A and B are shown apart, each in its own frame.
Chain A
């Protein structure tokens, strides 16, 4: 009887059982056959034994579980001499001191501005004092420009180029710590070498504008405060929003150095305030039912952390504080040049003002020679 002519209805349970059993064992056999084919093909194509590992390698990577050693069988604490190359300044730094070095190297952190202030203050009064240098044994860069954290890495490159061009004015002193390869500086050693290098303090306190050409000046003034100190005749190297000087002073110096048509400072109001990620302004309650992606809140502003009433603000990312420098183009303020003469050059600065900037928190002014100016 042909298969398709058979009917199941006439069969009793045992026959049905037997049929089911037949079908089941056929399926199992087919599955086994499929596996055989897979293996056969793998062997024939040559990749079946590919992932077999050799005994030696197995032993090499075996986990060790003994007291006093780690899983690789190594004794603890043998990694003191590791070094790495700083991506910013390309110097070789001891790995365990890399973080503090980088912090200063990038000009970040609460220490940098304090150190910079101190240096400015101490440079004129105490030519021989090298106290500030002793603080950062393994780093010289922060003696130079206080970059401020608002500068992008890109911008920093051009500052570096500028730095190189300035270097030409300074005789290279073999005793200068900048030249020394070793990271260790004893307190006593530094003071000697620093004394011998008069130009070093030029770096510390600011730039001598007389040594710079108009192009260099212009470029410098787009990124730095630039106000010339009456006492030292040097230009301030802090950022354009440095709290030591007012915007009017900054405008004045630009006019003085570059002529009356010099560009003015960008308006504080036009500065785009943005953080590295969007900070939402508290919980905004809207009647949205679905998470349709229209939420502007970034997950980095975890709603869960805001939800709790526990006041733990200081560990969360700080919100931006707008610095009020008294620079309001709309207000009368000091001087009418805010809205007037600035307009033409405002547009040229739009590109700059749209750069992401993070205003530095105002530094409590250290008692310094600039107090009189303010």
Chain B
């Protein structure tokens, strides 16, 4: 089959239509072998200085980089036959002719002049009149993309990036979806079975074998593997390991995600994970039953250190230097203000945190009363007057001004002497994932017990009242905090709940996790079952994981 003969340079469209259309099917097969979605008719165009010519066309008539080019385009780009501005205006690639598509004026021109190619002035697509279809030629598309990028830059169009491994940056590329190569397409066509994640799909869920009282580890693994940002980071293979030895916990974490998304139904055995955590966090190993919260902090710490590829990790503790995924997701800033009662000077410290530990009523330290002036107001749809303690109550207590007492005087730099003071904690910077730890295990001098007080926690949480900025406005006289409905910065959604059943000496941890927006599942070591939202919200709650609802670019 001689291509050169059939696709000559002078097609007469009406008579050839039949001929061409009857060949279209076979031609498509041939074409897809030659170049995907391209066509051979571009070869007539690709001569001499065609690249530059094409660039000029894109710059002047398609992508307007500046106000002048935009004006020029608006003025000059009209159909040479009917004067229309719109109607899918096209420009001939071989000469200066604009014709609208809708009224077929460009078609006429193509037929008369035997100029086979035209470009759509709105989106830059190339139309081939012989193929009677838009074609996608690799070289021409490359030029189009470059010109588009240039024009956008000129326009001042910035595409903010939220790149988990690099951090937010100002100017980036417009996000383009993955496109398979020819080879990949072939492979995919030969292998039509797909593991697609839909809303009613088990992929992403997997049980974990209990290795001997290791439910404290399993429950944290479930929470972490269902942290959306962390999942996305690992599934897009963002971890580049710089550690010399084989004992990188981040790599193991990555492997864990692979296991969870493998489609395997049998529970995973996380023995390697346990080994790695115990070799890197020695203080954890050896207790018969351990605390899930402690495990979480240790695991985050080891992950954070290993993200830097640095086994020794001293410098990795500096939050300013570290931009690892753990810090980006979990690290918040807690502001501590100590106010001298005499001179009212304030000394401020900001410390990084991964979790907020909250005291509960029923512990040996008094819980009520809360901060002055806040009684009676409803926050997050809950009122503390109803009786049950809410998470918000705990947070309000956490951020209340606390008088430190005469036995705990601090040296005031203003007064140059020891004075009584009040201390107050507020959130300076909220992490993307906020973990609240309800302090249910009391280990005071005489008492060792579990506090089973029910604390109700919401599905959606607004952290605005607990922010340092809110405190400032309260101090400036705006006492009653008006809820700004348009400020989405501090809104959080619950996505994981770790529960402890049993006593202080012996108990069992389970986790509720959220998948596919509104489906909840209960993870009890090797057994994963469906759960209702009511099950989740009625549970006792020990560790509560909230995820920011709206991610902002900086």
| A interface residues with partner B (beta carbon < 8 Å) | 3-4, 26, 30, 33-34, 37, 40-41, 44-47, 50-54, 56-58, 60-63, 65, 70-72, 74, 76, 79, 82, 84-88, 95-103, 106, 108-112, 149, 153-154, 274-278, 283-300, 302-305, 307-318, 356, 358
Least CB distance from A70 to B in Å reads 5
Do B209 and A95 have beta carbons less than 8 Å apart?
A: yes
The complex places the Cα of A371 from the Cα of B282 at a distance, in Å, of 30
Give the residues from 355 to 398 in chain B that come closer than 8 angstroms, CB to CB, to chain A: 355-359, 363-365, 398
Give the residues from 67 to 111 in chain B that come closer than 8 angstroms, CB to CB, to chain A: 74-75, 85-86, 88
- Contact with B285, one of A108, A274, A277, A303 (Cβ below 8 angstroms): A108
Do B194 and A51 have beta carbons less than 8 Å apart?
A: yes
Please give 6 more A-B residue pairs, beta carbons under 8 A apart, in addition to A46-B189, A100-B212, A299-B351: A53-B193, A63-B201, A99-B214, A288-B348, A310-B364, A312-B442
Q: A291-B429, A310-B365, A317-B283 are in contact. Are A53 and B195 (CB under 8 A)?
A: yes
- For A277, what are the chain B residues with a Cβ–Cβ distance below 8 Å? 301, 305, 313, 317
Q: A299-B353, A310-B365, A356-B312 are in contact. Are A294 and B320 (CB under 8 A)?
A: yes
The complex places the Cα of A238 from the Cα of B203 at a distance, in Å, of 49
- Contact with A310, one of B192, B285, B439 (Cβ below 8 angstroms): B439
- Contact with B123, one of A37, A50, A154, A302 (Cβ below 8 angstroms): A37
Least CB distance from B515 to A in Å reads 9
B185 lies within 8 A of chain A by Cβ: yes
Do B209 and A295 have beta carbons less than 8 Å apart?
A: no
Least CB distance from A300 to B in Å reads 4
Q: A50-B188, A71-B205, A303-B351 are in contact. Are A308 and B365 (CB under 8 A)?
A: yes
- For A63, what are the chain B residues with a Cβ–Cβ distance below 8 Å? 200-202, 530
- By beta carbon, the residue of chain B nearest A153 is B279
Pairs A–B under 8 Å by Cβ, sample size 17: A33-B122, A37-B125, A44-B36, A51-B196, A62-B202, A72-B202, A74-B265, A79-B207, A97-B211, A99-B211, A154-B245, A274-B314, A287-B348, A288-B350, A295-B349, A304-B425, A317-B298
- For B255, what are the chain A residues with a Cβ–Cβ distance below 8 Å? none
Q: Give the secondary structure class of A's interface.
A: loop
Do A276 and B211 have beta carbons less than 8 Å apart?
A: no
The complex places the Cα of A74 from the Cα of B134 at a distance, in Å, of 51
**1/0 contact trace for B337-360 toward A, CB 8 Å?**
010000000011111111111110
Do A285 and B211 have beta carbons less than 8 Å apart?
A: no
- For A26, what are the chain B residues with a Cβ–Cβ distance below 8 Å? 86
Q: A71-B529, A74-B265 are in contact. Are A98 and B294 (CB under 8 A)?
A: no
Do A61 and B443 have beta carbons less than 8 Å apart?
A: no
Do B347 and A285 have beta carbons less than 8 Å apart?
A: yes
The complex places the Cα of A302 from the Cα of B334 at a distance, in Å, of 9
Do A300 and B354 have beta carbons less than 8 Å apart?
A: yes
Least CB distance from B25 to A in Å reads 14
Do A302 and B357 have beta carbons less than 8 Å apart?
A: yes
- For A103, what are the chain B residues with a Cβ–Cβ distance below 8 Å? 278, 285-286
B210 lies within 8 A of chain A by Cβ: yes
- For A295, what are the chain B residues with a Cβ–Cβ distance below 8 Å? 319, 349-352
Do B211 and A98 have beta carbons less than 8 Å apart?
A: yes
Q: A40-B134, A56-B193, A79-B209 are in contact. Are A62 and B201 (CB under 8 A)?
A: yes
* Stretch binding the partner chain, chosen from B2-10, B152-160, B219-227, B269-277: B269-277
- For B331, what are the chain A residues with a Cβ–Cβ distance below 8 Å? 299
Do A314 and B443 have beta carbons less than 8 Å apart?
A: yes
- Contact with A54, one of B193, B266, B354, B413 (Cβ below 8 angstroms): B193
| B interface residues with partner A (beta carbon < 8 Å) | 32, 36-37, 74-75, 85-86, 88, 122-123, 125, 133-136, 179-180, 185, 188-189, 192-196, 198, 200-203, 205, 207, 209-214, 245, 247, 263, 265-267, 269, 271-272, 274-275, 278-283, 285-287, 291, 293-294, 297-298, 300-302, 304-305, 312-314, 317-321, 330-331, 333-336, 338, 347-359, 363-365, 398, 410, 413, 423, 425, 428-429, 437, 439, 441-445, 521, 526-530
Do B192 and A54 have beta carbons less than 8 Å apart?
A: yes
The complex places the Cα of A97 from the Cα of B214 at a distance, in Å, of 10
- By beta carbon, the residue of chain B nearest A286 is B349
Do A298 and B202 have beta carbons less than 8 Å apart?
A: no
- For A302, what are the chain B residues with a Cβ–Cβ distance below 8 Å? 297, 353-357
- For B185, what are the chain A residues with a Cβ–Cβ distance below 8 Å? 46-47, 50
Do B180 and A76 have beta carbons less than 8 Å apart?
A: no
Q: A70-B527, A308-B365, A310-B444 are in contact. Are A106 and B196 (CB under 8 A)?
A: no
The complex places the Cα of A5 from the Cα of B413 at a distance, in Å, of 72
The complex places the Cα of A293 from the Cα of B323 at a distance, in Å, of 12
The complex places the Cα of A115 from the Cα of B180 at a distance, in Å, of 60
Closest CB pairs A-B (n = 8):
A293-B320, A109-B286, A99-B212, A291-B350, A53-B196, A53-B194, A108-B285, A44-B37
- For A154, what are the chain B residues with a Cβ–Cβ distance below 8 Å? 245
- Contact with B36, one of A46, A274, A317 (Cβ below 8 angstroms): A46
Least CB distance from B268 to A in Å reads 10
Do A52 and B348 have beta carbons less than 8 Å apart?
A: no
Interface centre among B203, B266, B278, B333 (most CB of A within 10 A): B278
- For B348, what are the chain A residues with a Cβ–Cβ distance below 8 Å? 287-289
Do A70 and B263 have beta carbons less than 8 Å apart?
A: no
Do A276 and B274 have beta carbons less than 8 Å apart?
A: no
Least CB distance from B326 to A in Å reads 9
Least CB distance from B140 to A in Å reads 13
